[in-house]
Amino acid sequence: MEKLLNDLRAIVGAPHVLADGDLSAFELDWRKRSRGKALAVVRPGNTAEVAAAVKACAAAGISLVPQGGNTGLVGGSIPDDTGRQVVMSLQRMNAVRALDKANLTVTVEAGCILQTLQEAAEKAGFLFPLSLAAEGSCTLGGNLGSNAGGTQVVRYGNARDLCLGLEVVTAQGEVWEGLSGLRKDNTGYDLRDLFIGSEGTLGIITAATMKLYPMPAAQLTAWAAVPSMEDAVTLLGLAHRHLGAGLTGFEVMGQFALSLVAKHFPQQRIPFTDNVSAQGRPKPDTAPSGGSEPHEVGSVGAYFVLLENSDHESESHAREQFERLLETAMEEGCVTDAVVAENLQQAHQLWHIRESIPLAQAEEGLNIKHDISVAVSRIPEFVRVTDELLAQAIPGMRLVNFGHLGDGNLHYNVQAPADGDPAAFLREQEERVNTLVYDSVQAFGGSISAEHGVGSLKVGKLEKHKSPVALGMMRAIKQALDPDNRMNPGRVLRR
């Protein structure tokens, strides 16, 4: 292997081939559940270096694992434990190559951090709407590789919907130049969509041309308490009718999910939950706090909804729309309490609460994560049925249910009983819980992965829950584009 390492050093420069020392930043997954062993970490600085490194690895019979910010949740961007895989880190390829104001597009390298792209668009007077909790460290290449969703899918779509073109290095080390930025190109198969969501198993995305949008005149955020998941879905329907395309975000959060935020981040003030215990039950003789926030009255909901309304007219128009929506929802009984953020700081505080749920869950201990999607109309029944199945199978388990209700994506996570050992719970119950949840998802016509991907964690489950016809076509594509199985092997598909 020394010849390969020398070849790679000659291609990207010796300082950018890491083969010794602490490589945990590249070998340990974000959830700290899995750790691999890399032959080396290669950090190319441009597309030509990526292509040359791919050819060198192919000649040596070594497989590659593309990696961006290493923030994935399904074990898709770390090497296996053989010590015979090269991690291809694209973090040095982080440039914003071009911004076309007339075409409303921006061309960016794959290693660009999502937040950097957002800020570059904003500086030019535009909006790049992809937004997720890890945006300060995840990269655009990883976002595209997993077809990331985030909080504004209900209006702007997933990463796939925001992408107009790609630059890709193939498994053979060739470069496909597809960065045209065209919105219409009906000249055969859509190669772009093959690579988006493929998790690096077909080729390495090195750059992308993405859509931009005009900055809205106003963005308002509201927080509402709802008695049930059925009421949350009813509120969503009302929001579509009242706000139309202005509805950009619609997040749902269960009481217990928010109680974990209150427990582990007590400095955060969560509207309408001052009288909710860490078990999600009302506390006696307590009332919502006051302070400078808008007055809050009424009963505590079983779920809470975070809504965002973007308006291209004015803030007063957006606020009027919001208030009319919430008044109607309260009249119909699907909302018991509601508050509209008075300023940008309050809006950020509300979103920070939502984004703190995964961190609070991690503080509570190891847990069993799910990233599932079900048709919005069927989510209330799915939750009711699956909640009951889990409660019967594992008494005392705790459900951390939250996610992007606006597009049917729930992070339906399961925490150990309050007096249990989280590590033992994960070890002993994960397979049982996953089987129960995924079987229920399939019964409701849903998907076992909405935005996190398959990685290595769900390969076996995909084989059970994806149709044989679909798997056959996927294997044919993999065989055609990567016949030697050099690109991120063992992810998405088993050979």
pLDDT confidence band for 274 (50 / 70 / 90): low
Domain identity same for 300 and 420: no
Q: Which residue has the tokens 């914003």?
A: 96
SS3 252: strand
- What pLDDT, on the 0 to 100 scale, is given for residue 292? 32
Checking if the pLDDT of 299 tops 70, the result is no
Domain identity same for 204 and 222: no
- What pLDDT, on the 0 to 100 scale, is given for residue 291? 32
Buried b (16+ CB within 10 A) or exposed e, 332-369: eebbbbbbbbeeeebbebbbebbbbbbebbeebebbbb
Domain identity same for 346 and 269: yes
Residues 46-64: what's their mean pLDDT? 97
CATH number, domain of 36, equals 3.30.43.10
Q: Is residue 230 part of a domain?
A: yes
Helix 344-355 crosses helix 357-364 at what angle (to 10 degrees)?
Answer: 40
Secondary structure E strands in 130-243: 163-170, 175-178, 203-211, 213-214, 218-226
- What pLDDT, on the 0 to 100 scale, is given for residue 232? 97
Q: Is residue 489 part of a domain?
A: no
Residue 317 backbone phi and psi in degrees, to 5: -65, -45
Checking if the pLDDT of 281 tops 80, the result is no
Distance CA 455, CA 75 (A): 5
Checking if the pLDDT of 296 tops 80, the result is no
Partners of 72 in beta bridges = none
Give the CA distances from residue 57 to residues 180, 206, 207, 489, in Å, rounded to whole numbers and listed in that order.
29, 17, 21, 14
Domain identity same for 304 and 274: yes
Domain identity same for 101 and 60: no
Domain identity same for 225 and 312: yes
Percent share of the chain, pLDDT over 90: 84
Q: Is residue 139 part of a domain?
A: yes
DSSP secondary structure code for residue 447 in this structure: B
Q: Is residue 167 part of a domain?
A: yes
Q: Give residue 269's domain range.
A: 218-358
Domain identity same for 45 and 165: no
Total H helices, total E strands in the chain = 17, 19
Q: Is residue 459 part of a domain?
A: no
Of the residues 61, 89, 117, which one is the last residue of a structural domain? 89
Checking if the pLDDT of 104 tops 50, the result is yes
Domain identity same for 104 and 62: no
Instruction: For strands 398-404 and 247-254, give the pairing.
Output: antiparallel
Partners of 449 in beta bridges = 371
Q: In the numeric block, which tokens belong to residue 55?
A: 């050819």
- What pLDDT, on the 0 to 100 scale, is given for residue 494? 85
CB of 165 closer than 8 Å to CB of 192: yes
Give Cα 397 to chain centroid, integer Å.
Answer: 25
CATH number, domain of 349, equals 3.30.70.2190
Residues 262-266: what's their mean pLDDT? 94
Q: Is residue 461 part of a domain?
A: no
Residue type, 15: P
Residue 391 backbone phi and psi in degrees, to 5: -65, -35
Domain identity same for 39 and 76: yes
186-240 tens-digit pLDDT: 999 999 999 999 999 999 999 999 999 999 988 899 999 999 999 999 999 999 9
Q: Is residue 476 part of a domain?
A: no
Checking if the pLDDT of 279 tops 60, the result is no
Domain count of the fold of the chain: 4
Domain identity same for 191 and 284: no
Domain identity same for 337 and 232: yes
Residue 406's nearest CA partner among 212, 240, 244 is 240
Checking if the pLDDT of 334 tops 60, the result is yes
pLDDT, the chain, mean: 91
Q: Is residue 491 part of a domain?
A: no
Of the residues 168, 189, 214, which one is the last residue of a structural domain? 214
Of the residues 421, 443, 465, which one is the last residue of a structural domain? 443
417-456 tens-digit pLDDT: 999 999 999 999 999 999 999 999 999 999 999 999 998 8
Percent share of the chain, pLDDT over 70: 94
Domain identity same for 166 and 227: no
CATH number, domain of 207, equals 3.30.465.10
Checking if the pLDDT of 57 tops 80, the result is yes
Residue partners of 363: CB distance under 8 A and separation at least 6:
260, 264
